[in-house]
Structure 1
């Protein structure tokens, strides 16, 4: 039993070490470029909606717009590889965090954070692969379908409200990191670019926080009214914002913030700590 445990631990260590290779690090950095590109495109689509034009302002809409461009499939497969590498890198981060010598609470927080990021980047990688293969994915419909299925489950409404509150909490945390500029801890010293990086990071994190809070609110509204169609994800959240009093200005501000977050992500590809 002891030998089996030692072999398992050794295998985990070797896999984690393999995830730290220079080649994988370079590809993982490219993942932040594609994440930035997706946010910039979502912001651009939101601005189109703000001007009365159509569009789907979410990851699927952004990636789908790339698919229609010349060389789109090649770009999408590159996005798949880069985001998959970033997800794998975060898996390694989670393993190293869980096996670190830091105190238990901090260790658990770091491991959970890295694991959560691995899931997010993995989902984005999968979305790139779906579109690169000629498929499509409508996020707003997927969100409604997921909400309907969860709502039908035992204690589903309670789970949905808890999920909505968790997403709102994530939005508050993003905004907090933006306002306090704690995101700068994720970067090496950007030198002369520091002021620009701080500015786009602050605006970008605040905007992403607002968007996440909107998504969480829509989930809670859907649960409270027993209407899954009201849970429409990022696209629905932005369109709901645009329909409010002064919504044109609010949506334009958030859209610009998402573009800023995209630019920050690209800066992180260059200056991020790995």
Structure 2
């Protein structure tokens, strides 16, 4: 890649992580609000629908949608061109496939965000339940849903491990700011991993019982915390954790170290 391409890809990467940060700021903030008020915790779909009703909500949705498409470009390019030096051994190839897969998922979310901005329609219901029902109506549908649940569970475990072990520190530049904010990043990654595991559990149970109504997304996972003992505290903690994950994405946008086009002498939080 040329130097000009590197610069362009870096800004695409920043737009992508920034958009993720905005989404989880909204979801975490609404969860925190729901912990202390008689409102329901919101998942991605409802949180973005709520944003549309705010002043300048539609332009914000357009910006988020375009940013998520930028994230798609960044992750697919990173996986195909191996700009992060994952390598071609089995471990590296799995990591690169994971990059492409997460890019495609977020690209799909980006398209739905742009559709929401254009149409202003919120179809209502649980989108996770909707697509689970569609998948289950296909041949081998239960097994497809079960496989998705296992992939999400693996991703959740990975995010939690990444936060707990500090593995993420190897690709963040060391500055006074990143050093001071580091504990927030750890908590954010661990909480996000736990929430993904809860979503995976609901999908797995839906596949086991052949009942798509058991499938729930992030909003339902947050709401389930509220029904537990000390539920308001758990929900509030999850909300703060998701805001921490949003901060992690913002930090990634500004301080991510990419081997193929970052200064080779740059110090990371791992150093």
For the aligned pair, the TM-score class normalised by the smaller chain equals 0.7 to 0.9
Matches within 5 A, 1:168-247: 168-189=153-174, 191-247=175-231
- Aligned match of 2:105: 120
- More deviation, 165-174/48-57: 48-57
Residue equivalent to 2:269: none
**Bigger mean CA deviation after superposition, 109-118 or 167-176:** 109-118
Larger radius of gyration: 1
Cα shift at 1:138: 5.4
Q: Does structure 1 residue 273 correspond to structure 2 residue 257?
A: yes
Counterpart of 1:257 (choices 216, 222, 241) is 241
Shift of 1:55: 4.1
Structure 1 position 265, deviation (Å)? 0.9
* Cα deviation digits, residues 31-89 of structure 1 (max 9, x gap): 21221111011011112222243245221222222212222222222222222122112
Q: Check whether the contact 2:72–2:104 (CA below 8 A) recurs between aligned residues.
A: yes
Long gaps (5+) in structure 1: 1-15
Write the distance in 2 (CA, Å) between the matches of 1:101 and 1:165: 23
Match of residue 44 from structure 2? 59
Give the direction of change, closer, same or farther, for the CA distance of 1:17–1:90 in structure 2 (3 Å limit): farther
| Residue 164, structure 1, aligned to residue 146, structure 2 | no
Matched, 1:135 2:120: yes
Structure 1 residue 140, shift from structure 2 partner: 5.6
Q: Unpaired segments of 5 or more residues in structure 2?
A: 259-271
Note the C-alpha offset of 1:137: 4.4
| Deviation beyond 4 Å, 4+ runs, structure 1 | 16-19, 137-140
Question: Is the 2:145–2:204 Cα contact (8 Å) retained in structure 1?
Answer: yes
Query: Which SS does the other structure have where 1:133 is aligned?
Result: helix
DSSP-derived class of the 1:131 partner: helix
1 CA distance for matches of 2:27 and 2:20?
11
| Structure 1 residues 175 and 138: CA distance shift in structure 2, 3 A | farther
Q: Is the 8 A contact 2:164 2:190 kept in 1?
A: yes
Change (3 A) 1:94 1:19: farther
**Residue 24 of structure 1: how far off its partner (Å):** 4.4
Q: TM-score, normalising length from structure 1?
A: 0.84
Q: 1:176 and 1:71 mapped to 2: Cα distance?
A: 38
Matched, 1:74 2:59: yes
How far residue 168 of structure 1 moved from its aligned partner, in angstroms, is 1.5
